[in-house]
Amino acid sequence: MAKAKTVYACTECGAQYPKWAGKCDSCGAWNTLAEEVVAAAPTSKRTAARAAGGVAGATVALGTVTSSDTPRWRTGLDEFDFVLGGGIVPGSMVLVGGEPGIGKSTLLLQVAARLEAAGQPTLYVSGEESALQVRLRADRLAEDASAVSLLTETSLETILATAAQPVGNGRKVNCLIIDSIQTVHTELLEGAPGNVGQVRECAARLMRFAKDTSTTVFVIGHVTKGGGIAGPKTLEHIVDTVLYFEGDGTLDHRVLRATKNRFGSVDEIGVFRMVGAGLIPVENPSALFLGDRRDVASGSAVCALMEGTRPVLVEVQALAAKAGFGTPQRVANGIDSRRLALLLAVLDKRGGFSCAQLDVFCNIVGGMRVQEPSVDLAIVAALASSVVDRPLPAQAIFLGELGLGGEVRPVSQVERRLAEAAKLGMTTAYLSDRALPRRAPGDMRLIGVRTLTEVLQRTVGKDAA
């Protein structure tokens, strides 16, 4: 029998080392080497002879390959189908990541119930909860999940053997849900479930099973403190689609975001509301994020983001208050703190609003995370409004990227952003004069600006600074 050996594998790139080190020499990441127990390859003469020679594969000309439009499976959860690109692709593998308690198991149990009702046999494998715990969750859902086949197992070999056999009324399993990948282990490797080797090998074998049998595989993955899915980074490279389930535990809405999708566009989002009967899709996310914006105070501005192909209106809130300690605070929620520091410097140098002696707090309402620069103009307008304590126009929207010279730069897909804003009752839009569309949606008034100073003069006053 081959002896096992211990190596240290990088969770980012998969490089292996005989001993632990603080830095991975392959990718340059720090503190990413994890201990992994692997079995040595057998060295029998038969195995060596098999490895020395191989069987040549048949090749085909690329032009002779014909494509067949395989119909997608729709679950009826419109937001879930939208994020996947129009529905579930048979034979694909989807990784769903999120923090503990965010609702990953609830979402996929609802998906399993809807697929089973639509005639797609589904096997739900739970490695963390007992059958009674899964039944108690299913009883709370609005969907009837009583027909879903359940297996409480952590051995990958048993899971694959069960999924290959007919279930229920002798029907083939079309959808396999694993909850979660960190609890599954294979007998081919030593080591506890959840380590680098076990997660990588189990994911690779599940992917092969999905492609060989045309079974759709959903895999739940936990998120680390850094926000990434636990396990090796190669886990996200193996699967076809990566979905992140995000949200604040104190709020009742959740955001499903696609960061990788081989069958659709990335960065699409779907919004759900968590209720007692499960997760309910939100048809109009903009109305949800702006629903409580009634009495507009100073430091509030509205911006339109592009989440994939969908425009979403969000409210930016800023508060500048007198610092109570020697060093002023800079707190950013929903945006990069370094981006906030950059915008504060531009506001001071180009706009004449100094926040050097003020505590600055910036928040994106609703727990949204903003990465695109189109929110820059809304942030600086909200900051200037809070400094002088003068509200911005109530039904105005701010679109623009801010350069270090104080210039307002255009953003992409302006027409779609403005159309979404007009739909929600916005009457005025401040944007770069180089991005003015030929025709404004509805009765919206478009104000083209070139510099930050011009924006501040039109909103908080010429002499406010």
User: What residues are designated binding site for ATP?
Assistant: 98-105
Q: In angstroms, rounded to a whole number, what is the distance separating the alpha carbons of residues 163 and 6?
A: 32
Q: In angstroms, rounded to a whole number, what is the distance separating the alpha carbons of residues 439 and 421?
A: 14
Which residues are part of a known binding site?
98-105
Instruction: Give the burial string for 112-125 (b: 16+ CB within 10 Å, else e).
Output: bbbbbbeebbbbbb
What stretch of H or E contains 317?
A: strand 310-322
Amino acid at the residue 129: E
Q: How far is CA 337 from CA 323, 329, 330, in A?
A: 18, 11, 8
Among the listed residues 75, 81, 165, 94, the one whose alpha carbon sits nearest the alpha carbon of residue 123: 165
Among the listed residues 319, 305, 272, the one whose alpha carbon sits nearest the alpha carbon of residue 412: 305
- Sequence-distant (≥ 6) Cβ neighbours of residue 231 within 8 angstroms: 11, 181, 182, 194, 196, 199, 200, 203, 221
Q: In angstroms, rounded to a whole number, what is the distance separating the alpha carbons of residues 337 and 364?
A: 12
Contact 96, 218 (CB under 8 A): yes
- Sequence-distant (≥ 6) Cβ neighbours of residue 261 within 8 angstroms: 84, 85, 240, 241, 242, 268
At residue 117's C-alpha, the angle toward residues 113 and 120, to 5°, is 90
Contact 278, 142 (CB under 8 A): yes
